A and B are shown apart, each in its own frame.
Chain A
Amino acid sequence: MNILLYISNMIIPLLIFYVIMHGILQKVHVYDVFVDGAKDGLKTVVEILPTLIGLMVAVGVLRASGFLDFLSQLLKSPSEAIGFPSDLIPMTLVRMFSSSAATGLVLDLFRTYGTDSLIGKIASISMSCTETIFYTMSVYFMAAKVTKTRYTLPGALLTTFVGVAASVVLANMM
């Protein structure tokens, strides 16, 4: 556990060290090249800012309106019928829109049920094997200026569903 956290803290500094060391050995003018490349990153961020504002406002509005709570209420009995704890529904839904909001809900679950309860375990695993669908999709496609996303959304929903289902099964086996 501590070793893992230690390693993950080391990755970034070591990566920076390695890339620059390697660059110097290859006789790259590292600083000039770095500055040049950094400009590129600046451009990309500026281009996605409008997308981000649009999307985050939509998510904010949807959450503040209480619609997501209503949706989880609605899904309560069907989900219990298939063995999915209904307390996990809000987190699973929010996860598709916002990583930080979902993390907040998971920490709530940890506080209420404990990290090592079945719900705590399902939440931990499913957070680890899913991504924020709508955020990722809109930011990526906006970078490419693509509006027709074809089979991306069905595929994304499918992998998320499979990931959550696998989490439930695996948590029950732990």
Chain B
Amino acid sequence: MLNILWAAMMIIGVGWGMATGRMEAVTNGALDSAKEAVTLCITMLGVMSLWTGLMEVARQGKLIQKLTNLIAPFVNWMFPDVPNGHLAKEHITTNIIANILGLGWAATPAGLKAMESLQELNKKEEKGVQEHTTVASDAMCTLLILNISSLQLIPVNMIAYRAQYGSVNPAGIIGPAIIATLISTVVGIIFCKIMGRKR
């Protein structure tokens, strides 16, 4: 899927640029984006390490376990294939809570860790030998769809931008935003449940 998607983006981009005579812009777009990716990663290195370090402290202090227990009913229901006590559950919990609180910088590290642990569970059996597969598990699809459906309760960034651009009521979008987020998340959950069942 990603192979096709990525190739399509590149080929359409270059082809379209050629047809419309924007090759110079395309060249700059490619080079600047590559640079931007590295800059982003360097920024992320600090944030990510700070976060994973902090979370390790929270884990050894049994803080994550408390949180995991708190939203366990929801996580267990959404991720029935992940065994209790598996590390993946802790990461999923942290990812969901960070998302709800709008801590994007914390949600991504936890999400990536969750994907890594989910991959440990994701094995196929071939000729009696278990090996890792490159096919996404139901739990992975669910985690992605939950993340993409957006769980953030209070859109702080948007409120700040609205204030900056002279809105009479910058925070007025909180209510509608919560409702819209809830609707899209519920639809995402229903979709995952239906797809996970038919296999």
Contact = CB atoms under 8 A, between A and B. Distances in A.
A44 B37 contact: no
B28 to A, nearest CB: 7
A148 B136 contact: yes
A5 B160 contact: yes
A162 B183 contact: yes
Interface of B: 1-3, 5-6, 9-10, 12-17, 20, 22, 25-26, 28-30, 32-34, 36-38, 40-41, 44-45, 48-63, 101-103, 108-109, 111-113, 115-116, 118-119, 122, 132, 134-136, 140-141, 143-145, 147-150, 152, 154-163, 165-174, 176-177, 179-181, 183-185, 187-188, 191-192, 195
Contacts of A33: 53, 56-57, 60
Ranked 10 nearest A-B pairs via Cβ = A37-B56, A64-B29, A60-B33, A41-B52, A128-B155, A61-B13, A38-B53, A65-B17, A163-B184, A115-B167
Contacts of A133: 148
A67 B15 CA distance: 9
B186 to A, nearest CB: 9
Q: Is the interface of B mostly helix, strand, loop or mixed?
A: helix
14 contacts: A11-B101, A30-B57, A37-B55, A38-B56, A40-B52, A41-B48, A41-B51, A57-B10, A58-B9, A62-B9, A103-B161, A125-B180, A148-B1, A156-B148
Which secondary structure dominates chain A's binding surface?
Answer: helix
